[in-house]
Amino acid sequence: DVVMTQTPLSSPVTLGQPASISCRSSQSLVHSDGNTYLSWLQQRPGQPPRLLIYKISNRFSGVPDRFSGSGAGTDFTLKISRVEAEDVGVYYCMQATQFPRTFGQGTKVEIK
Amino acid sequence: EVQLVESGGGLVQPGGSLRLSCEASGFSFSSTWMHWVRQVPGKGLVWVALIKSDGTTIYADSVRGRFTISRDNAKNTLHLQMNSLRAEDTAVYHCARDWFHAIDYWGQGTLVTVSS
């Protein structure tokens, strides 16, 4: 199985300041079709997860442009350019290149 | 609007069975791959199973042989039949829609508790 490792596991951030989450996979996530199926999800308290980013860097419909994704191969990053109060929650990376689908442990973003 | 509504969770004894359902609306269910993902409250996400539009099924090792994912395209409903349940199967079970190898919409989930 592909192991997804996120750092940090907790990220206290000041409102208006940037935040960054790293996700590393134990194997390359480049699929045989040439795509890299790495996505980022946000889970607000009491809510199901919500898709933010797919295929490394593509923002899903309705996602604010303060969220951005980058990376390649085995190393990926989610950045929030200016954290807002509504961004509080747990963020997960997920790989869909291989079965079983696997998730990172989650990074809790909270306001200082 | 895409909606996924799970039902069927509850308290069951170890070794027992439970059948979860997920009613889908707002999209072409029959042509969409669908997942079950579970989450112990306060913990992370764990993928359980997938059913493709052609009926092909794929399972996590931890549930293979005990769980069966199925779909009723006439009723736009996804199912998860869970047999030989164990304490470690206790979790909130979400159904979720696959979208070009991402998971874009998730249901609120239904809680399954396996305990004597």
pLDDT in tens, B75-90: 999 999 999 999 999 9
Selecting from B44, B61, B105 the residue whose C-beta is nearest the C-beta of A103 gives B44
The strand ranges marked E within A62-101 are 67-72, 75-80, 89-95
Distances (CA, A) of A4 to A7, A24, B17, B66: 10, 6, 31, 26
Q: What is the pLDDT of residue A11?
A: 93
- Bridge-based pairing of strands B110-114 and B10-12 is parallel
Q: What is the pLDDT of residue A44?
A: 97
Residue A21: what are its φ and ψ, rounded to 5°? -125, 135
- Bridge-based pairing of strands B57-59 and B10-12 is unpaired
Selecting from B44, B99, B100 the residue whose C-beta is nearest the C-beta of A105 gives B44
Q: What is the pLDDT of residue A48?
A: 97
Q: Using CA atoms, how far apart are residues A78 and B34, in angstroms rounded to an integer?
A: 26
- DSSP-assigned beta bridge partners for residue A111: A13
CA angle A93, B43, A79 (to 5 degrees): 30
Residue B116, SS3 per DSSP: coil
Residues of A in contact with B60 (CB under 8 A): 100
**Side by side, which strands form the sheet with B77-82?**
B3-7, B18-25, B77-82, B67-72
Judge whether A2 is closer than 8 Å to chain B, CB to CB: no
Residues of B in contact with A44 (CB under 8 A): none
Residue A47: what are its φ and ψ, rounded to 5°? -120, 155
Q: What is the pLDDT of residue A6?
A: 98
Q: What is the pLDDT of residue B56?
A: 98
Q: What is the pLDDT of residue B49?
A: 98
> C-alpha B112: how far from its chain's center?
11
Q: How far is B102 from chain A (nearest CA, A)?
A: 6
Q: What is the pLDDT of residue A43?
A: 98
Q: What is the pLDDT of residue A5?
A: 98
**8 Å CB contact of B45 and A49:** yes
| Average pLDDT of the segment spanning B60-65 | 98
Average pLDDT, chain B: 97
Q: What is the pLDDT of residue B64?
A: 98
pLDDT digits (tens, 9 = 90+) for B15-29: 999 999 999 999 999
| Average pLDDT of the segment spanning B90-95 | 98
**8 Å CB contact of A101 and B50:** yes
Q: Give the CA dihedral A22, A23, A26, A32, nearest 10 degrees.
A: -120
Residue B57, SS3 per DSSP: strand
Q: What is the pLDDT of residue A2?
A: 98
The backbone region for B88, taken as left when phi is positive above 0, alpha when psi lies in -120 to 50, beta otherwise, is: alpha
Q: What is the pLDDT of residue B78?
A: 98
The strand ranges marked E within chain A are 4-7, 10-13, 19-25, 38-43, 50-54, 58-59, 67-72, 75-80, 89-95, 102-103, 107-111
Residue B83 exposure: Cα atoms within 13 Å on the Cβ side: 6
Low-confidence ranges of chain A (pLDDT < 70): none
Q: What is the pLDDT of residue B63?
A: 98
